[in-house]
Amino acid sequence: MLCGDVVAMWEVALSDGLYRIEFAHGTTTGKRIVYVNRQEVIRKDWMFKLVGKETFTVGGANTKATINIEAVGGFAYEYTLEIDGKNLQKFIDNRAKTTKTWLLKVDGEDFRVVLEKDTMDVWCNGQKMDTTGEFVDDGTETHFAVGDHECCIKATSSGKKKSGIVHQLLLDGEKIPASTQ
């Protein structure tokens, strides 16, 4: 159950899923509670110091997260989230370069497929997939299955130095548009 003192909320997309981080801060008692997907992960009921940091992990890979609590004058506070040592926006911008995400519906079920470009690991709904990679004439193909369906991530050169490699997801041979998250 979430406490009524929730003062900040963030959504973080990791390879194994989307995580909602909520922070409750009792500015009179110093109470601090951190929730990840509505599960309490930290509770400190009495803190004399109202500013500081709370560090915890998020997701299956135990990604480090830190909430910074800073006074901004009087009894006002600012709350910022760092993921993997980077402020949230920088982390999101970096992930946009290092991952590619697709959202698709297969047999009435929603799937979120994430490609980690540096390792070529493929995640689907929080599970790391068994994949088979092969070189083809115009690049590489990474094959895996979603239910009874054939999936393939094709990596081909864009022909432009700036945009580099283009990744496309094919489901049973049909191209799936990429997501923005």
Across 143-164, average pLDDT: 89
Q: Is the pLDDT of residue 1 over 70?
A: no
- Amino acid 129: pLDDT: 96
Sign of the Cα pseudo-torsion (103, 107, 109, 114, in order): negative
d(CA 55, CA 23): 12
Q: Is the pLDDT of residue 6 over 70?
A: yes
d(CA 90, CA 86): 6
Q: According to CATH, what is the number of the domain 6-84? A: 2.40.128.180
Same fold, 6-84 and 99-176: yes
Residue spans per domain, the chain: 6-84, 99-176
Per-residue confidence band for 3, with pLDDT thresholds at 50, 70 and 90 = low
- Amino acid 29: pLDDT: 78
Contact by Cβ (8 Å): 1, 55: no
Q: According to CATH, what is the number of the domain 99-176? A: 2.40.128.180
Q: How much is the pTM?
A: 0.85
Q: How deeply is 122 buried, as exposed, middle or buried, from its count of CB atoms within 10 A (0-12, 13-18, 19+)?
A: buried
pLDDT in tens, 140-153: 999 999 989 999 99
Which one is predicted more confidently, 94 or 29? 94
Nearest to 100, CA basis, from 165, 4, 49, 174: 165
**H runs (alpha helix) in 14-163:** 88-98
Across 11-36, average pLDDT: 92
Q: Over pLDDT 90: what percentage of the chain?
A: 76
Per-residue confidence band for 109, with pLDDT thresholds at 50, 70 and 90 = very high
pLDDT in tens, 35-76: 999 999 999 988 777 889 999 999 998 999 999 999 998 778
Per-residue confidence band for 2, with pLDDT thresholds at 50, 70 and 90 = low
Across 91-115, average pLDDT: 93
- Amino acid 163: pLDDT: 72
Across 3-15, average pLDDT: 90
Q: Is the pLDDT of residue 88 over 80?
A: yes
